[in-house]
Structure 1
Amino acid sequence: MLMLLTVFVHLIAVSGAIGSGILFYSGISTQEELMLGKFRIQHEFVKRVRRLKDENEESKLEKILKDAGYPFGLNANRYTAIFIGLMLVILVAYVVTPAFRGDGFNLFGLVSVVAVFLIGTPDIKYSGFNFLMKKVKELNQAKIQAEVFTFYELALNELRLMENSRIQAYTMIRDLAPNFSKMAPSINMLLFNWNTVGHASALDSWAKEVGGEEARALASVFKTLDVVDRDTAIKSLEGQQEMFMKAQIENFRRRIKVKADLAKLPIMATFALLMANYLAVVVIMCLNLLNSNM
């Protein structure tokens, strides 16, 4: 609701600026004044739009979408525009247009607007949007943890295949980086921070960003790769094999559960629409009966 109020206030402000610009144009005559007025209106409009974008980028909605990995490329500004636009289309098509045609009050249209708002708003904790983003976040986190396990296996196999006893952790991570997709941004940042803030701080930041006990354990091993021999590094990683295997099994179960929950969403949405339609029909029938008795 807060998001809608913020957008509504800015729309009123922009409309007021446009209206004042029209009135301003009607009261001036010289070409210089026309150009100056045009620049002032453009500046005010750009300032309002930029302020709205900045507020969206720092909003709760932006944080939710960022945690979910920006699904379908949606950020707060794009989602707000799509959400408001969809509500306006439904409102005009099913409420405003029938009213202008003289068809009377359209209860189904009003119920549709309310349903879209309840499903799509991020301001209600248990809305459909928040539920979907929570599941997408869980699925992305499960995929990241699966890549952490792959990272562990690739590093262990790389050490086993090495002929030299000297290990360069930075080179190993850089060579393994193309094998990952979900972890690609965090690994690229790890490589960047390696030579700027130091390998220990870079690995700690990477483990914190990825999350999980497995990432922290892997980071602790990589911290010592440059100062230990190959056999010691292999034993360190092999000592964590049981932990990684258990985590991988649990992570696989979690991914199956999240995918099953996401697969249920179309069925749940269809059931909710059928129930809403049924309630609308019942209410309309009751209203018609009351009107006929009166």
Structure 2
Amino acid sequence: MNEVVIFKFMPFIIYSISLLLSAIAGLLVYLGLSNKVERLQTRIRLKHSMIKSRKKLLEEAQHTKAEEWLKLAHYPLGLNGLRYNLLVGGFIVFLAINYVLFPTMADGASKATFFSIFIIGTVAALALPSNPFSLFIYFMKKVIDYQNAKKNAEVFMLYDLLINEIEMMTVSRINTYNVLRNLKPYFVALDKPMTMLLTSWSNDEGPKIALEKFAETLNSKESRALIGVIENLDELDRETALSHLRGMHSMFVRSQIENYRRKRKITTDLLSLPIKTTHFVIILNFLIVIVTMVSVILKSSRM
């Protein structure tokens, strides 16, 4: 059996050895016909060309659909558009080599091979960011919704901490910048937006522009209502500020309950994805086994 396999792959082994020897011969000819300075110049040109190609590739990756979705999702698992495309492309190539190329080289094209091509094409389509029905977009939407739910939960926490901080103050006037700076370490999802808020607050843009950008980043009805009060805290005394904040209590309680329900649903959906994927792989494997068995039976019956 091993001898038969070796003879089947013998033409490809010969071609591979021929290509390797040709490459070595070309390298030796190049080394013999060029001097040290010319080789150095060639290496510099190749290095410059590689750097230029890499820069162009990175720039093009910034404008892909995958990059747009991953940016909205704040790059989960450290993936960006280029890394995602390379990962998916490498996985598809691996499947094609393992389930199409090698079986075709060993036994020739069969129904199982065409079925494998169909399955690999389906997997590729489900991973395409440009496909509106792909699993990639579905997963990204769930991640974005989950992150928005976390942000809204921390907006509610900011509301409670603001009330507690102002209640514990001994002075009648409020310094909004110091209050927000003291509260910043308590947040995770709002850490970056609050850092940008405090940075813009203390530079030439001023508090009004900083709070407008902060509201655009959070982009929710509750955050805009809270920021509307924060904008005027410096001009209000302690009691008036507390009355304004407490006046939003019922709205924040209702929103927090709804946000908790939405967050639980999204968490359940995300946690169920591995289970659904496992079921899909089991069903797919079952179909491949059936198709392979039928192909073998039909082939043996013809013989």
Q: TM-score, normalised by structure 1?
A: 0.85
1:288 shift after superposition:
4.7
How far residue 115 of structure 1 moved from its aligned partner, in angstroms, is 4.1
2:101 corresponds to 1:96: yes
Name whichever of 41-50 and 162-171 sits farther off. 41-50
Task: Please state how far the C-alpha of 1:126 moved relative to its aligned partner.
Answer: 1.3
Matched position secondary structure for 2:158: helix
| 1:128-147 matched pairs, under 5 angstroms | 128-147=135-154
Match of 2:159 among 152, 156, 165: 152
Aligned to 1:85: 90
Which structure has more relative contact order (CA 8 Å, sep 6+)? It is 2
Structure 2 stretches of 5 or more lacking a match? 1-25
Do the aligned residues in 2 keep the contact of 1:167 with 1:225 (CA within 8 Å)? yes
- The amino acid across from 1:92 in the alignment is I
**Alignment RMSD (CA, Å):** 2.5
Q: 1:204 aligns with which of 205, 212, 218?
A: 212
Q: After TM superposition, give the deviation of residue 123 of structure 1 in Å.
A: 1.8
Q: In structure 2, what is the Cα distance between the partners aligned to 1:293 and 1:103?
A: 16
Question: Contact (CA 8 Å) 1:107, 1:280: kept in 2 or not?
Answer: no
* Partner residue in 1 for 2:3: none
User: Gaps spanning 5+ residues in structure 1: where?
Assistant: 1-20
Structure-to-structure mapping, 1:1-294, within 5 angstroms = 25=30, 28-102=33-107, 105=110, 106-107=113-114, 109-196=116-203, 197-285=205-293, 287-288=295-296, 291=299, 292-293=301-302
d(CA) in 2 for partners of 1:141, 1:282:
44
Counterparts in 2 of 1:130 and 1:271: CA distance versus 1, 3 Å? same
Distance 1:200 1:95, change over 3 A: same
Contact 1:94–1:108 under 8 Å retained in 2:
no
SS in 1 for 2:235: coil
Larger Rg: 2
CA displacement 1:178-208 (0-9 Å, x = unmatched): 0000111100000011122110111011011
Change in 2 beyond 3 A, CA 1:27/1:249: farther
